[in-house]
């Protein structure tokens, strides 16, 4: 039973408003929702309309109205015992706080949204959309691993509820992951992700499902292709899949408008018109939140380099790197200084100290940390699912720290985290266990499939250009896998599996490697 089945009034109008927003016609949805809010006497219908109205305002980029809309929606939802509504509202509030630059508020809403959506006892299509919006918020905040996990949850719930897979394709999540890699100097990694995005679109076209993609997804596919071309990669596209045509989708979405303008810059670079690209950058105005504050500076660097002005290109590139680093610094400040105080302020004093000590994300790599890993494995095994765990340990990492210092070591760890994340399958879980050790969890997987995953990780690490990052100190990885057996107690089964995987990893480390 869906949430609207529990609403007694204005069901048709609310359903219509939701369909309009899915079709990127948020202005029409907003007008319809305002009418519902003015006329309904049903508290549930009023609450749903106010949550949807906040979504429409975010899509339209009407930032000045966010605070009032959140306050009114919160008042309407407060007394309703419906986890979905609380979860969806907090996911949207996180997006709004992100666009307002209030990162501490954004992270607080993310935590609340995940808890509320996870507490839904009978997930339905509405819950799927809640997870979708939470995934978007994670993505905009650069928590790419969490974003991928949340959108996979949305896709699974959506398929169960009869929503086509392509509805939750969400190429924008991987697009933001790709440009973030490029902003931090990993253009090869960026291109690999962009090629994966292009392959997804090609699959939907080949199977005749491209026509069911959401307009906002088409715009993101268009920008991904344009960005790929701007980096000098050959893009195979024709007809309706040409980047210039895809960029025209997105309806009245503010984010789609931003991608359209930046996409034209990318296409000018790809077509050999770099001066035009620079001129466009001088005249357009885009939100720093759509693809990150560093994206215009990075595009300027690429254009100036193509124009032969390498000094100016270098300056622009350094600016892009600084802007990307500033964002990471702000996120660290949020965790260190802000979250405990904000949760305490919101009558969670007894939880504040525990939350501060139980942060679930590794601040260096952005991956889930050991605590989050243990919770995840416990949940999977408790559900009775077959699961394989893998221990990945870096080879040559001590030499990196000795020869180049710990800052370079940190860069290697960040690069490795990105490499492993890129080659994992949908639904796999990656965490930083500690030091130079990472753990991957493969649900519903046997040892034969695990061996193939190991080969992919090893090949991807081997293919990285370590010489340019840490000259003279090659980096590799040793991997060991083991199945978690449910035959004994859960804690003992996990311990035995970790020990076995660790032994396999050490055995792999001792084997001679091909040169």
Is residue 186, in this structure, part of any structural domain at all? yes
Q: Are 140 and 184 part of one and the same domain?
A: no
The band of 237, judged by pLDDT with boundaries at 50, 70 and 90, is confident
Report whether pLDDT(485) > 80. no
* CA gap 376, 429 in Å, rounded: 9
- Tokens linked to 24: 């990127």
Q: Are 30 and 68 part of one and the same domain?
A: yes
Q: Are 387 and 275 part of one and the same domain?
A: no
Of 120-129, 158-167, 392-401, the one with minimum mean pLDDT is 120-129
Report whether pLDDT(4) > 60. no
Is residue 365, in this structure, part of any structural domain at all? no
- Domain tally for the chain? 3
Q: Are 500 and 402 part of one and the same domain?
A: yes
Q: Are 147 and 286 part of one and the same domain?
A: no
**β-strand partners of 477:** 394
Average of per-residue pLDDT across 166-173: 90
Higher pLDDT, 441 or 489: 441
**Which of 129, 161, 193 is at the close of a domain?**
161
Q: What is the pLDDT of residue 122?
A: 82
Q: What is the pLDDT of residue 167?
A: 87
Domain holding 447: CATH number?
3.30.70.270
> Nearest-CA neighbor of 226 among 186, 258, 251?
258
Q: Are 271 and 148 part of one and the same domain?
A: no
Average of per-residue pLDDT across 174-199: 93
Q: Taking each helix axis from N to C terminus, what angle separates 125-140 and 83-99, rounded to the nearest 10 degrees? A: 20
Is residue 364, in this structure, part of any structural domain at all? no
Query: Percentage of the chain surpassing pLDDT 70?
Result: 90
The band of 9, judged by pLDDT with boundaries at 50, 70 and 90, is low
Interval 26-48: pLDDT, tens: 899 999 999 999 998 888 889 99
Q: What is the pLDDT of residue 487?
A: 53
* CA gap 303, 316 in Å, rounded: 10
Is residue 515, in this structure, part of any structural domain at all? no
Q: What is the pLDDT of residue 94?
A: 87
Is residue 134, in this structure, part of any structural domain at all? yes
Domain holding 70: CATH number?
1.25.40.10
Domain holding 335, by residue range, is 169-359
CA torsion angle for 454, 455, 460, 465 (degrees, to 10)? 110
Interval 375-431: pLDDT, tens: 888 888 787 788 899 999 999 999 998 998 988 899 999 999 988 988 888 888 999
Q: Are 374 and 414 part of one and the same domain?
A: yes
**Which of 311, 329, 359 is at the close of a domain?**
359
Residue 138: C-alpha distances to residues 92, 100, 252 (Å): 11, 15, 23
Q: Are 149 and 204 part of one and the same domain?
A: no
Q: What is the pLDDT of residue 357?
A: 45
Q: Are 380 and 478 part of one and the same domain?
A: yes
Best-predicted range by mean pLDDT (26-35, 93-102, 323-332, 487-496): 26-35
Q: Are 267 and 140 part of one and the same domain?
A: no
Is residue 454, in this structure, part of any structural domain at all? yes
Q: Are 354 and 387 part of one and the same domain?
A: no
**Which of 161, 184, 218 is at the close of a domain?**
161
């Amino acid at each position: 039973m869906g949430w609207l089945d529990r609403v007694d009034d204005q069901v048709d109008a609310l359903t219509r408003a939701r369909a309009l927003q899915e079709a990127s016609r948020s202005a029409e949805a907003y007008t319809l929702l305002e009418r519902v809010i003015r006329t309904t006497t049903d508290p549930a219908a009023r609450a749903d309309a106010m949550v949807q109205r906040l979504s429409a305002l975010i899509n339209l980029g009407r930032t000045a109205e966010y605070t009032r809309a959140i306050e009114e929606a919160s008042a309407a939802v407060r007394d309703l015992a419906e986890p979905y509504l609380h979860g969806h509202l907090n996911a949207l509030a996180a997006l709004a706080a992100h666009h307002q630059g209030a990162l501490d508020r954004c992270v607080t809403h993310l935590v609340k949204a995940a808890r509320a959506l996870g507490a839904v006892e009978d997930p339905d299509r509405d819950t799927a959309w809640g997870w979708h919006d939470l995934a978007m918020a994670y993505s905009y905040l650069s928590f790419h691993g969490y974003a991928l996990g949340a959108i996979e949850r949305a896709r699974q719930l959506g398929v169960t509820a009869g929503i086509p897979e392509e509805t939750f394709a969400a190429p924008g999540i991987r697009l933001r992951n790709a440009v973030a890699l490029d902003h931090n100097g990993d253009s090869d990694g960026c291109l690999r992700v962009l090629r994966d995005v292009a392959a997804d679109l090609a699959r939907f076209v080949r199977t005749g499902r491209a026509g069911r993609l959401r307009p906002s997804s088409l715009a993101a596919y268009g920008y991904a292709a344009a960005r790929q071309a701007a980096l000098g990669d050959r893009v195979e596209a024709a007809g309706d899949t040409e980047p210039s045509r895809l960029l025209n989708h997105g309806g009245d979405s503010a984010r789609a408008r931003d991608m359209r303008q930046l996409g034209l810059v990318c296409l000018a670079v790809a077509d050999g018109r770099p001066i035009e690209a620079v001129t466009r950058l001088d005249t357009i105005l885009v939100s720093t939140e759509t693809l990150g504050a560093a994206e215009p500076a990075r595009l300027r660097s690429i254009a100036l380099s193509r124009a032969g002005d390498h000094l100016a290109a270098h300056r622009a590139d350094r600016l892009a790197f600084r802007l990307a680093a500033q964002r990471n610094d702000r996120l660290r400040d949020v965790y260190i200084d802000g979250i405990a105080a904000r949760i305490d302020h919101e009558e969670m004093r007894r939880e504040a100290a525990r939350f501060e000590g139980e942060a679930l994300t590794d601040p260096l790599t952005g991956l889930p940390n050991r605590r989050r890993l243990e919770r995840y494995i416990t949940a999977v095994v408790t559900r009775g699912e077959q699961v394989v765990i893998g221990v990945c340990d870096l080879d040559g990492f001590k030499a990196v720290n000795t020869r180049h210092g710990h800052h370079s070591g940190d860069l290697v760890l960040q690069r490795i985290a990105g490499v492993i994340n890129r080659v994992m399958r949908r639904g796999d879980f990656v965490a930083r266990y500690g030091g130079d050790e990472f753990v991957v969890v493969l649900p519903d997987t046997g040892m034969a499939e695990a061996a193939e995953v190991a080969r992919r990780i090893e090949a991807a690490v081997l293919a990285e250009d370590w010489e340019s990052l840490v000259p003279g100190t090659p980096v590799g990885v040793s991997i060991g896998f083991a199945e978690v057996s449910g035959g004994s107690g859960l804690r003992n089964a996990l311990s035995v599996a970790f020990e076995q995987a660790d032994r396999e990893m050490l055995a792999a480390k001792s084997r001679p490697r091909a040169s």
